[in-house]
Amino acid sequence: MIEFLPLLPFLPLTLASPLHPRLDDGLARTPQMGWNTYNQYNCFPNESIIHSNAEALIETGLADAGYRYVTVDCGWSVEDRLPNGTITWNETLFPQGFPALGQYLHERGLLFGAYGDSGILLCGSPPNNTGSLYHEEIDAQTFASWEIDSLKYDNCYSDAATNYPNVNYAPSTSPAPRFTLMSHHLQSQERPILFQVCEWGIDFPALWAPEIGHSWRIGNDITPHWRSIVRTLNQAVPQQEFVGKGQWADLDMLLVGTTAANSENEGGYVLSIPEEQTHFSLWSILKSPLTIGAELEGIRGGSLEILTNADVVGFNQDALGVPAGLRRRWSDEGSEVWSGELQGGRVVAAV
């Protein structure tokens, strides 16, 4: 169900097409690149995890290759707000605090990615981690005061009509107004803050997210299996026509270099190297944000080479910002062709 959303006069908009108003604040002219805690550490991030992976981003050359947003996903907040109403971090997990964490990242040329939720709690609760519903303005101000550079905004515990269940994939109202409200308050801060809409594609966000954010998740979480790649690509097909500079369809985190306890591959890697190459190439040319989900210390050389392949990263970061689309699929034979334009009259194709 799509609800009518009034155009907010305070958002700078370009009208690429009169039917598709877009947020145009100069951020994410190419898909954002970075690293996120969730896939490898679930909802148990902490300061030393962030420090060690941030150092590894630099030492491995990943930061130089463009991966700069470091995002602390679920698990960082606590149940209660401070007496003045502000949201705060878990002091046991982050003893030096979030402002110091931001400073640590900025000193190293990295960017500070925060995670919040448009419901009453963060995804991954319990233990209860407070979310931003009904506190959007003060939370946007607080996040900005911590000098965050991006906000991944999630959709758990948000459906008031059904008493705030953890997840409701068929809610009675659209998530769009809740995400729009947070976008408005982020836009009101002096600091430019990249806004990542994460409502799992339940209300076809391609139709409304480009107006309020810089990327939108197209589906549910990627899981550590090859079949999850195939499922995600299928879900991407109808999204690609809405993608453009500053508005990217987010295919979710990369499995390149990701390990899992139950994997039978050598070293516990979820995918083989050829599978990682295929996965990375497609995420790249579809212009998905490139967010590494792997633990970086000790990551195998083959996965690092894939993540830093200058040609493939270059296709993703191409200035034209045109995503590849599915051209043809031979289902019986198991092959397909994707292609898309690049600047300079070139075309990139994946077979």
Helix count and strand count (H, E) for the chain: 10, 13
Binding mask 135-154 for ligand GAL (x = CB under 6 A): -------------------x
Quote the strand ranges of 41-127, DSSP E: 69-71, 111-117
Is 73 near ligand GAL (CB under 6 A)?
yes
Is the CB of 66 or the CB of 124 nearer to ligand GAL? 124
Distance (Å, whole) CA 220 – CA 237: 15
Q: Using CA atoms in the order 39, 222, 276, 36, what is the torsion angle rounded to 10 degrees?
A: -30
Site for ligand GAL in 196-225 (CB under 6 A): 198, 200, 221
Name beta bridge partners: 347. 341
At 56, which helix (H) or strand (E)?
helix 47-59
Q: What angle do CA 31, 62, 298 make, to 5 degrees?
A: 130
- Work out whether 256 is an interface residue with ligand GAL (CB under 6 A): no
Total residues contacting ligand GAL by CB under 6 A comes to: 11
Instruction: Provide the minimum distance between the beta carbon of 200 and ligand GAL in the complex, in angstroms, as a whole number.
Output: 6
Separation of alpha carbons 88 and 101, rounded Å:
13
Residue 156 to residue 43: CA distance in whole angstroms? 14
Active-site residue flag, 154? yes
Exactly one of 70, 101, 121, 123 binds ligand GAL (CB under 6 A); which one? 123
Q: Which is nearer to ligand GAL, 36 or 316 (CB)?
A: 36
Task: State in angstroms the smallest separation of the CB of 123 from ligand GAL.
Answer: 3
Known catalytic residue at 25 = no
Contact status, residue 295 vs residue 260, Cβ threshold 8 Å = no
Q: Does 43 bind ligand GAL (CB under 6 A)?
A: yes
Q: Inter-axis angle of helices 226-236 and 273-285, to 10 degrees?
A: 20
The interface mask with ligand GAL, positions 150-189, x = CB under 6 A, is ----x-x---------------------------------
Q: With respect to ligand GAL, which residue has the nearer C-beta, 69 or 315? A: 69
Sign of torsion over alpha carbons 315, 317, 318, 322 = positive
CB-nearer residue toward ligand GAL: 63 or 251: 251
| Least distance to ligand GAL, CB of residue 339, Å | 29
- Based on CB atoms, which residue is closest to ligand GAL, 87 or 348? 87
Q: Do residues 114 and 73 make contact, with C-beta atoms less than 8 angstroms apart?
A: no
- From the candidates 73, 139, 149, 154, which is the catalytic residue? 154
Residue 38 binds ligand GAL, judged by CB under 6 A: yes
Question: What is the spatial distance between Cα 291 and Cα 274, in angstroms, rounded to a whole number?
Answer: 19
If one asks whether residue 74 binds ligand GAL (CB under 6 A), the answer comes out as yes
Q: Measure the CA–CA gap between 238 and 25, rounded to whole angstroms.
A: 25
By beta-carbon proximity to ligand GAL, the closer residue of 56 and 198 is 198
Two structure tokens written together for 297: 């210390």
In this structure, which amino acid lies at residue 293?
A: G
Nearer to ligand GAL, 156 or 324 (CB): 156
Give the x-and-dash track for 266-305 against ligand GAL (CB under 6 A). ----------------------------------------
Write the single-letter amino acid at 83: P
CB of 84 to ligand GAL, least distance (A): 27
Q: Please state the separation of Cα 339 from the chain's center in Å.
A: 23
Q: Which residues bind ligand GAL (CB under 6 A)?
A: 38, 43, 73-74, 123-124, 154, 156, 198, 200, 221
Q: Which residues are catalytic?
A: 154, 221
